[in-house]
Structure formats: structure tokens, C-alpha cells
Structure 1
Amino acid sequence: MQFKQGRALVIGIANYEEVRRLPEAVLNDARDTADTLRSSSYCGYPEANVTVLTDGQATLEGIRKALADLAADATADDTVAIFFSGHGTRVGLGRAATSALVPYDCKRGDLAGTSLGEVELSAAISAIKASRVVVSIDACHAAGAATLKSDLEGDHDDGLDEGFDEKSLQQLASGTGRVVFASSRATETSLVRKRERNSVFTTALLAGLKGAAVAADDGTIRVFDLFNYVSEAVRQAAPGRQHPIFKASNLEENFPVALVLGGTKTIAPKANCRERQLEQIMSDLFPAGPTDQQIWLRAGGEVANLALGGTGRAQWFSALRLLSQGGGGGSVTRESLIDAALEEFPAHRELGALR
């Protein structure tokens, strides 16, 4: 079987011309992601639909051309996956600062002119006609450079202000069907451990794509389920040190991103099925999100702790993800949320069964 509507652009840069190099794991991340996407045993993307740029291929013009080719080739029925592993940087000062991806030929003396800034990258993503686009960025964030590169020698003073902040990630997710996965919060390091083949984030992403993420009944891996798996796997691998970020502005559905095990249907783990069922039920009962009928407040939570951008479904996804990590504020728990919902819908059997 093939996931015929799948298209991908995979970028990995470790050996920069002027900017300090990164571990070999960065290139492994790109190569392994591409291999998994086009594997008939896993994701099933047609080989011709997967473009890979590593090191010298991933110049600024090379990345621009690959994005333009995606915009020219992708149709409204396609799912497009864009993966970047390498340096991210901030350009400018204070509130005027913007984020950028650092291409192979970026110049230290002209970061703004030789990097791929958030405005240009957002425009390139918006130009892609596919109704489903997933952008995964595995780049070091603020104050985290030392851990990522601690095993490397050489000059570290290259002028980079490491980072790709959440405001910029939200801009990349603008538009219907656009989703961004980022490897860590803006205050964290995107970890690469010594002697490990892949980064912590990409290790989890690859495992999810290879069948560890919850599979839908139609034999596909869907975007919410993939991120749920990645987020939990990273949390367990790096407790308290790295938390992947999910951004979406106008997401209407839990859309498929790949085949699972080459199209083989699998039974999802019971716990994950229950969480997905709770997300669906809460989205149906409170379609405006956790603020609908003040359900989050009534369950003991604090609305200020939530990321409330996007559709109600996207808000519920983020809220329940936060709750599973011990967040949400106040005294809110999974049980208190279900109890608060049952006060409004006492005859809802499926919801009661989740209690």
C-alpha cells in the first residue's frame, strides 16, 4: 500500500560553512525521517514525493526552491510533511526580534539576509495548496546551545542567538490545516545525547511513525495521536528538561499524516484510546473549547494556564495534553473535568464510562 497523497521535504544541516557544526545525529534525524516516510513497511509515502536536503544541498536557495516545488506540486488533497533539523536563530532585538531557520550557507555577518526568516517561511508554507501541512522543527531553542553541542570542539562564538520562539511558531501554523511540532519550549534545549543515533525529539517522532503512536481504525496515523505519543515519549526520556510544543490556528480535524505499519490496522493501547475518546467527547459537548460554559473553571482549572488559539478541537487537544503533564492550574484533574461535564450531561454513557 501507499499513502499516495503524502509529500515531504526533509532538511538536516550539521556541517555549516560558517556557523558552528552540530552532531552527526542531526543528519541521521533527516535521513532516518525520510527513510521512514517512504518505507512501504511504515508510512508509505511514494519515494518520488520525498525530497531530502542535507548539508551543502540545504543552502538558502536550495530550501527556497524545494518549498516552491512543494507549492507547485501539492494538491488540495495532499498531506505535506516538512521536517527541519539544524540551527534556529533569533534576528533583531526585543519585541522586534523574529525567528529564522539557519541554512547551510548562512553568513555570520548577515544573519538577517542569509537565513530563512519566519515571514518568508510562513509565506512559503501558506503557498502550499495542500489542506493538511505538518511542520516539525527540531532546532535548539533559547539558552540551550551548550548542552546540544557540549561534545564539540571549536569556536562557539558565531553570533547566533539560538532560538525559535512560540510567537514565531504560531505564525508558521497560521491557516487552515497547518500544524507545527517544535522539539522544545523556548526556554529549553533540544537534546542530543552522546552516542545516540538521533535527537530525543526525533527518536520519539520516528517511533511514533513506525507504529508506536495510536493507529486510527482506517490504518493511518493521525496528527493529534502522533503528537500525543511524541510529547509523552520525550517527557519520559527527558523528565522536566524538554517539552515539545504543538501549534495550530484553524484545525478542523485529526487528519491522517501517514500509514501505520504499511497500512496494517492495529489495536491502539487502551489508555490512549480512552484519552482520544475523552478529547472527542469534550469537543462534541463543548465545541468552543475549555472556556465553553466555563467547564475548565468549574472543574477547578485556571484558564490563564491554557493556550486558547485555534479551533475548539485544537484547544481541547492542547488542554488535555497539558492536563496529562500535571498542568492546567488549580485543582483540575481528569476526573474533576469529567465530573463537571457530567453535571451538564448526566445521561452521557460514554463519558460516564471514562470516569
Structure 2
Amino acid sequence: MNPPRYPQGHALLIGVANYQQVTNLPAAILNDAQDVAATLTSPSYCGYESKNVVTLLDSEATRAAVLNSLAELATRAGTDDTACVFFSGHGAVVGPHGAEDSVLVTVDTNLADIEKTSISSDEFAQALSQIKAKRVLVFIDACHAGGAAISKTLTDGKGHEFKSGYSSNTFAKLATGSGRALMASCRASEVSTVFSRARNSVFTTALLAGLKGAADKSNSGFIKLFDLFNYVAEEVPKQIPDGQHPIFKADNLEGNFAIALSQGGKKSAASSLIESSASPEDLWVTLELALIELYPFGPRDQEIWSRAGGDLSRLEFHSTGRAAWHSALRKLKQGGGGRSINFLTLLRIALEDFSNHPTLAAMNSPGN
């Protein structure tokens, strides 16, 4: 039996520790990018396809290569996919006081000509806006402090110096756009801690644990956006009390959408099994909950309603996916929604998309 996969997941991981002309960072920064990539592609954890995950480390992470990889991600990720961008490295604050902006510092950044050799927040935001996926999540782990050697400045040893990190304005800019969200390792006034001899930064340690299943406290079989941030936001301050607080920015999110499998899609017995004696109404409720989870944008998400034989023109418009599903299934139970669609066609099309989803599989069993 093939292990569960999450083929709609795409990611770009960037880690820079050894800069050509800028202060270096701890080796943990490279581990961060590599370990997140390994977790995303593991069939035991997130289930992403290896071909959909690109990693750029140190010399690979030039300004040109990062921009090209973002453009390639925009080409590769479809409308109904999930796209994640992870960056661990330096950020630099630029601009006048009160109107600070930030740049992403690539391996070849020259502080003497920082505007032309780094990636501005406008360039980064523009690259993200080209990604067609309805769900885009950006992770920023920057403004690093290695052990007790806390520094909030970025220098090249030649007299050029910038404040390290990212401004609040930049965080908001990178999260702009429908279905966009940003998770950063710390507030603009804080540092992202890396303990001496630790494999990962404190932020990425918590992120990895969350992606490996700790964030899926309900054992739903999926890592969901808000659950992941809530877990990371609770865990990091346990290690750095009153010193580091992850932040979350989002724009026009429809709900707590899934971004990966949890422990390879493993669900608890209580959540994955449907008793064969369940009433027809119970089955409708269970299908509705599953569809809201898997297609959070409603019956138009991945065109599931049309593929199941339905007619979208017969459905009413609703501002949220949850409301749209409730209305559509109520109409379907009454015989509406299209001549060729019914409970079974909708269930079987969902199973084609998520063949290893335990709840859908149980509903399709002979006993039901």
C-alpha cells in the first residue's frame, strides 16, 4: 500500500549562514532549512512530493537564484495548491526612522550597495503575489542571536552597518493578498535565539515539532494553519520567557486551512472511524465537516462540485466556505444542485483527491 501523500503542497526553503561579505550566522541556520525540507517531504510527517520542494543553501542562495526560485514556484504551484516559503538568514532594516522597511539579505549582498544586491520587501511581496495558490504561507526566521552573543546590527567590517531583522511594515507587506499568511520568529524589537550547540533555532525547533504532529492536537490527520501558529507561539516563550514572541500576519483568510499531512495523515480512532450504524443525517454531517476541512473555499474549491456532476449556477453565493458548503449540501439533500450530483458522486470525487483520508474511506465502505 502506498503511503499517504500531500501532492498539493509546494515549498521553497532558503538558509544562509556563510555570507560572502556580511557577518556569518550559526550553522543551525542551514540545519533549519534542511530539517524543514526533510519534514515536509517525509511520508511519515507532512507528505509533500520531493519534486515540489526546493532548497537553497549558502552559495546557492544568491539574489538571482532566490528570485528565480520564487518565479519557478509561482509557475509550479496551481490555484488549488498550498505554497510555503521559508527563509532563515539575515534581514536588514533600511529607510528613515518612522518609515523603516527591510530587505532580505542573500549570500551575495554587498552592504555598500545594499539596495541593488539584496531583495527589497517590494520585490519579495511582488514575487509572492505571482503565486497563484490560494494558500501561501511565509516563514521568516531572522534577526538571529547565537547564544549570549546577541547583536542587533549587521556589518561587513568596512564601516557599513544596518539594523538587523525585519520591520513591522515589512511583515504586513509580505502577508498582503488573499489567502496569504506570514509567521515570523520574533517581534521586530526582539532577536531570534539560537542556543550554543543547538541543531536548530528556538523558533524552528518549535516549528519542526508542530509540523511533525504536535500542532495536530485533535489528531485530525492534518497540520492546520492556526493550530501550527498557536503551537509555535506557545512553545517559543517557554524557552525564552519575555524575550521572544513569534508573530502572525494574515490577509483575507477563509479559515483554519490544512497545509500538510500530520504524521503521514494518521488520525485518531475516534476521528477516523464512522460506525456502520450511523444514521443518514450523521453521514451528511460528517461529509460536510470533511469537505469544509479539505475544500475550505467551498464547492468551487478545486472545482469539486462540477467534477461530481453538480451545477454551480444553482448554488447561492456565500462569503465563507463553511456557509457555502452548508447551503450546497442542504440543497443537495433536497434534490437540487445539479442533475448528476448526489452524496456518492461527491464522496467519490473527494476520495479521488484525498484517497488516504480515513473519514472519507470509512464513509465509502460497504457498511455505509
Q: How does 1:183-198 map to 2 (within 5 A)?
A: 183-198=185-200
SS in 1 for 2:64: helix
Picking from 175, 178, 181, the partner of 1:176 is: 178
Deviations 1:192-241 (A, max 9, x none): 01011000000000000011112556411100000000010001111111
The residue number in structure 1 matching 2:106 is: 103
Pair 1:11-2:14 in alignment: yes
The residue number in structure 2 matching 1:256 is: 258
Structure 2 CA distance, aligned partners of 1:180 and 1:83?
A: 10
Pair 1:205-2:207 in alignment: yes
- Deviation, structure 1 residue 95: 3.3
The residue number in structure 1 matching 2:39 is: 36
The residue number in structure 1 matching 2:136 is: 133
The residue number in structure 2 matching 1:64 is: 67
SS in 2 for 1:84: strand
Query: 1:211/1:86 Cα in 2 relative to 1: closer, same or farther (>3 Å)?
Result: same
Q: How does 1:317-332 map to 2 (within 5 A)?
A: none
Structure 2 CA distance, aligned partners of 1:230 and 1:156?
A: 38
Paired residue type of 1:114: T
User: Contact 2:20/2:108 (CA < 8 Å) preserved in 1?
Assistant: yes
Query: 1:157/1:74 Cα in 2 relative to 1: closer, same or farther (>3 Å)?
Result: same
Query: 1:267/1:63 Cα in 2 relative to 1: closer, same or farther (>3 Å)?
Result: farther
- Deviation, structure 1 residue 108: 1.7
Structure 1 CA distance, aligned partners of 2:195 and 2:99?
A: 34
Pair 1:25-2:28 in alignment: yes
User: Contact 2:146/2:195 (CA < 8 Å) preserved in 1?
Assistant: no
Paired residue type of 1:132: R
Query: 1:69/1:235 Cα in 2 relative to 1: closer, same or farther (>3 Å)?
Result: same
User: Contact 1:20/1:158 (CA < 8 Å) preserved in 2?
Assistant: no
User: Contact 1:148/1:192 (CA < 8 Å) preserved in 2?
Assistant: no
The residue number in structure 1 matching 2:228 is: 226
Structure 2 CA distance, aligned partners of 1:230 and 1:171?
A: 22
User: Contact 2:219/2:266 (CA < 8 Å) preserved in 1?
Assistant: no
- Deviation, structure 1 residue 246: 0.3
Paired residue type of 1:59: T
Structure 1 CA distance, aligned partners of 2:158 and 2:227?
A: 38
TM-score of the aligned structures, taking structure 1 as reference length: 0.71
Paired residue type of 2:109: C
User: Contact 2:176/2:251 (CA < 8 Å) preserved in 1?
Assistant: yes
Pair 1:124-2:107 in alignment: no
SS in 1 for 2:37: helix
Q: Which runs of 5+ in 1 are unaligned?
A: 269-310, 313-355
Q: Which runs of 5+ in 2 are unaligned?
A: 271-318, 321-368
Deviations 1:263-292 (A, max 9, x none): 111489xxxxxxxxxxxxxxxxxxxxxxxx
The residue number in structure 1 matching 2:162 is: 160
User: Contact 1:23/1:149 (CA < 8 Å) preserved in 2?
Assistant: no
Structure 1 CA distance, aligned partners of 2:49 and 2:92?
A: 33
Picking from 243, 246, 255, the partner of 1:244 is: 246
Task: Mark the structure with the bigger radius of gyration.
Answer: 2
Structure 1 CA distance, aligned partners of 2:114 and 2:67?
A: 16
Deviations 1:118-155 (A, max 9, x none): 111011101100000110000007x99974569xxx95
Structure 1 CA distance, aligned partners of 2:159 and 2:216?
A: 43
Structure 2 CA distance, aligned partners of 1:99 and 1:128?
A: 21
Structure 2 CA distance, aligned partners of 1:140 and 1:266?
A: 39
SS in 1 for 2:193: coil
Structure 2 CA distance, aligned partners of 1:196 and 1:171?
A: 32
- Deviation, structure 1 residue 157: 5.8
- Deviation, structure 1 residue 260: 0.3
Aligned-pair identity (%):
51
- Deviation, structure 1 residue 160: 2.6
Paired residue type of 2:12: L
